[in-house]
Amino acid sequence: MELGTFGAVMGFAAQLVVQSADFYATASAATKNATLESLLQSLAQDARKDVATMEQTRRENVTEMILEPIAGLVREDYAIGLQPPGADAEIVQTGLRLEERDQKFFRDASARVPLPEVARVFRKTAQRKEQNISRLRALAAAVG
Amino acid sequence: MNSVKNYINGTWSDSETQEFGEVWCPATGEKIAHVPFSTAAEVDQAAQAAKNAYWDWRCTPPLTRARYLFKLKDLFEKNFEDIARTLVTEEGKTLDEARGEVRRMIENVEHATGVTTLMTGYNLEDIAQGIDCTAERQPIGVFGAIVPFNFPAMVAWWFLPYAVVTGNTFIVKPSEQVPLTQTRIFEVVDDCGFPEGVVNMVHGAKDVVNAMLHHPDIKGISFVGQSATARYIYKTCGETGKRVQALGGAKNFLLVMPDADLDTGMPSIITSFYGCAGERCLSGSVLVAVGDVYARLKEKFVAAASALKVGNGLEEGVQMGPVISKKHQEKVLGYIEKGIKEGAKLILDGRGIKVPGYPNGFYIGPTVFDQVDPGMTIAREEIFGPVVSLVRVKNLDEGIRLMQKSEYGNAACLYTTSGKTAREFKYRVPASMIGINLGIAAPMAFFPFGGAKGSFFGDIKGHGREIVQFYTDTKVVIQRWT
């Protein structure tokens, strides 16, 4: 389904980061690896901040004068079905999939949303996702 | 079923009236609340409360008054989503549109906090030997606003923040069709802790309007609604010696030149006509195709209109909601019938649209008439629904003449890639809000909002810098101490 409105794009952005936040919270409780647990708690905290940022961005940037349809963003392109957290290696791999998915969405959406401030927030979020990917990759070798 | 309460002198109270109206959810067609048709005595209570609160409030430093608005802005941000959802439930517009409206409401609060700059007067020494003169802006007393259904949150706040921050006290009468949103907003106002009587709200219909118009302690009225009512409000306020700004209806033309970039412009053209289901005074109503753009414009416009997702505005992704009421739905459908009878060609028919899950909602799909003669009823009268009249003209001059003949002069928009054409358009078109390559020429809080001709009765428009003049008297003080 196409995310054809500003609200739909912002709502979906919030859903994505909520999914990530929930996963990291659950996974950090499941792992016995202290390093991984610390990283997952940090990622969960970042993702929760992202949720607040998305809600604030939606609230402050909705512009009644130019609520024009938005084209080219399809929900299914970014959907990831998640299993309950398994072994540490699987947790890291799932985290990478989520971060790569989020990064792709925010990069794609920044080019589609015609509001500079929203696009800036999306680009900045995509950049942080890039850093998260590096953090997870650095740990991937350690957890096998 | 809930009945909304009045807010008078800082207290919520049930009206004494025995007459009530019904509030509907346009998306579902269900009755959701009752609204009291309050009495003249209750208007008097509100006016007395506002009058009693006036002097202390007037003597409160402007910056202190502004701090109430800073606090109110924060509270509105916290309650943003809840206000927007309440608005959708009773008005029917989409959630994005409602959020946009609440945003605009808050922007007026933000703009009004600049009172210490906006309200300053001016002075000149030595206007004669040893004599100095100052012009000072002083508040006047109790003001009121009578506001329409189509922007249940925003319109009252085109006025209230400016009236209050300049030291006046205020009474709002929300539309009886959508009383829930302003009630929710006043719950937030109540939390803000304004002194009792500074802001008041009285629900009702005609009797409340007339009581406000004739109340000797109410010094001025701001109104937004239909032109016939605006004219009546203007006339009555003239007779009763009140300041008045009365914003009326519209019949807005959107003119597309052959050089227009249709691919870039089409989303905003569509939004102009079908945003808020066509129920806004800035909506496009007549789509004017100039010269050989006609065939391309028609094809792209109808394709885009056909693709709009119509439904319950609370569902994200919905692009157009229902109209406000069953009665209004019938009125709009009547215009469609009239268009057919008068010989226009119906090329996109929004009648009988089915929205899954909401068989009783007040929906009308996007509708387009082609081959519309400018003399036809659908090209002249305000429809206030998702019905578009496509008119073909030879050149810009002929297009502008159409607008000059219209009894309304609210907004007009032009799509072109020519600066020369744009200049000529804005120079000659007799509407007060002009859009170039955009479809909704909506002035933001810091610019004035209001039309010309039959779209506006008064002289000082809504918000902008000028609104401070409406809510203040300029007192000139001439002094000699030598």
Mean pLDDT within B260-274: 95
Q: How far apart are CA B215 and CA B221, in angstroms?
A: 11
Q: How far apart are CA B393 and CA A96, in angstroms?
A: 59
pLDDT of residue A120: 95
Judge contact between B191 and B184, C-beta under 8 A.
no
Chain B residues inside the 8 Å CB shell of A66: 268, 271, 438, 440
pLDDT of residue A141: 80
Locate the chain B residue with the closest alpha carbon to A1. B317
Mean pLDDT within B188-206: 98
A62 Cβ under 8 Å from any chain B Cβ = yes
Locate the chain A residue with the closest alpha carbon to B315. A8
Residue-wise pLDDT tens digits, B402-418: 999 999 999 999 999 99
Taking all residues of chain B, what is their mean pLDDT, rounded to a whole number?
97
Mean pLDDT within B332-359: 97
pLDDT of residue A68: 80
Interchain CB distance below 8 Å, A8 and B94? no
Chain A residues inside the 8 Å CB shell of B442: 64-65
| Per-residue pLDDT at A118 exceeds 90 | yes
pLDDT of residue B399: 97
Q: How far apart are CA B8 and CA B93, in angstroms?
A: 29
Q: Interface of chain B against chain A, CB under 8 Å?
A: 77, 80-81, 94-97, 99-101, 103-104, 267-268, 270-271, 275, 309, 316-319, 438, 440, 442, 444
Taking all residues of chain A, what is their mean pLDDT, rounded to a whole number?
92
Residue-wise pLDDT tens digits, A126-142: 999 999 999 999 988 87
Q: How far apart are CA B478 and CA B388, in angstroms?
A: 57
In terms of Cβ atoms closer than 10 Å to its own Cβ (0-12, 13-18, 19+), residue B309 is middle
Interchain CB distance below 8 Å, A66 and B268? yes
What distances in angstroms separate CA B31 from CA B87, B178, B326, one per listed residue?
A: 15, 12, 11
Interchain CB distance below 8 Å, A69 and B96? no
Chain B residues inside the 8 Å CB shell of A59: 77, 80-81, 99, 103
pLDDT of residue B183: 98
Interchain CB distance below 8 Å, A11 and B101? no
Interchain CB distance below 8 Å, B319 and A60? no
In terms of Cβ atoms closer than 10 Å to its own Cβ (0-12, 13-18, 19+), residue B18 is exposed
pLDDT of residue B106: 98
pLDDT band for B226, please (50, 70, 90 cuts): very high
Query: How does DSSP assign B325-341, residue by residue?
Result: -HHHHHHHHHHHHHHHH
Residue-wise pLDDT tens digits, A2-48: 888 898 999 999 999 999 999 999 999 999 999 999 999 999 999 99
Nearest to B99 among A1, A3, A62 (CB): A62
**The complex's ipTM?**
0.74
pLDDT of residue A64: 75
Chain A residues inside the 8 Å CB shell of B81: 55, 59
What domains can be seen in chain B, in order of their start residue?
6-248+455-480 (3.40.605.10), 252-436 (3.40.309.10)
pLDDT of residue B316: 77
Nearest to B96 among A7, A55, A65 (CB): A7
pLDDT band for A143, please (50, 70, 90 cuts): confident
Specify whether B281 is catalytic.
yes
What domains can be seen in chain A, in order of their start residue?
6-143 (1.20.1260.10)
Residues sharing a CB contact under 8 Å with residue A114, sequence separation 6 or more, in sequence order: A66, A68, A70
Question: In sequence order, what are the beta bridge partners of B320?
Answer: B310
What is the percent of chain B with per-residue pLDDT over 70, rounded to a whole number? 100
Residue-wise pLDDT tens digits, B307-316: 999 999 999 7
Query: How does DSSP assign B93-148, residue by residue?
Result: --HHHHHHHHHHHHHHHHHHTTHHHHT--EEEEEEETTEEEEEEEEE-SEEEEE--
Interchain CB distance below 8 Å, B101 and A65? no
| Per-residue pLDDT at B322 exceeds 90 | yes
pLDDT of residue A67: 77
pTM beyond 0.80: yes
Chain B residues inside the 8 Å CB shell of A54: none
Mean pLDDT within B235-243: 97
Helix or strand (DSSP H, E) at B33:
strand B30-36
Nearest to A64 among B103, B267, B316 (CB): B103
Mean pLDDT within B237-266: 97
| Per-residue pLDDT at B264 exceeds 80 | yes
- Kindly tell me the sign of the dihedral angle through the C-alpha atoms of B187, B190, B192, B198: positive
Residue-wise pLDDT tens digits, B58-99: 999 999 999 999 999 999 999 999 999 999 999 999 999 999
pLDDT of residue A144: 64
Residue-wise pLDDT tens digits, A62-98: 887 777 888 889 999 998 888 888 899 999 999 999 9
Interchain CB distance below 8 Å, A4 and B77? no
A58 Cβ under 8 Å from any chain B Cβ = yes
Closest of B196, B217, B182, B219 to residue B68, by C-alpha: B196
